[in-house]
Structure 1
Amino acid sequence: MYNIIFYEKNDHVLSQTRESVPEEGDGIKLKGRKGNVVSVETGEDNIVYILVDLAKKIKE
């Protein structure tokens, strides 16, 4: 199990515990927003930092 921390630019988006780690370039959906994995960095123990590029929110 991996503790995965998702970031967009410098903002923390989501933390999750997962069995697998997404790879660079993978499509991902977080909090109802689609995006792509930009980079993956491994930290201490089972902590993985993932930089994502999410689609812009459309204001109505």
Structure 2
Amino acid sequence: MFVISFIENRTILLCQFLKQAPSVGDAITIKGRKGKVVHIENMDKNHIHVQVELKTNDKKKVAVDDSKKKKR
């Protein structure tokens, strides 16, 4: 059993107690966001830091139609 810390840009996203550690290039999902394992670093025999790169989710805003406003 390993304590695995998933890290992105020096921020810890998730710490889990898992039987098997992920490998480099594995696709993962953390908090509903898809990502990829970039680097794995063994701290102790039971502690592992996993560097993750999550995909950015670009949301486009829809332009508001002004013609539907009430005229006074």
| TM exceeding 0.5 | yes
Q: Where do 5+ consecutive residues of structure 1 fail to align?
A: none
What TM-score does the superposition give when structure 1 sets the normalisation length?
0.90
RMSD (CA atoms):
1.3
Structure whose residues are more often helix by fraction: 2
Q: Where do 5+ consecutive residues of structure 2 fail to align?
A: 62-72
SS of aligned partner of 2:21: coil
Task: State the alpha-carbon separation in 1 of the partners of residues 16 and 58 from structure 2.
Answer: 25
What TM-score does the superposition give when structure 2 sets the normalisation length?
0.76
Structure whose residues are more often strand by fraction: 1
Identical residues among aligned pairs (%): 37
Structure 1 moving runs of 4+ over 4 Å: none
Task: Tell me the matched-pair count.
Answer: 60
Partner residue, 1:47: 47
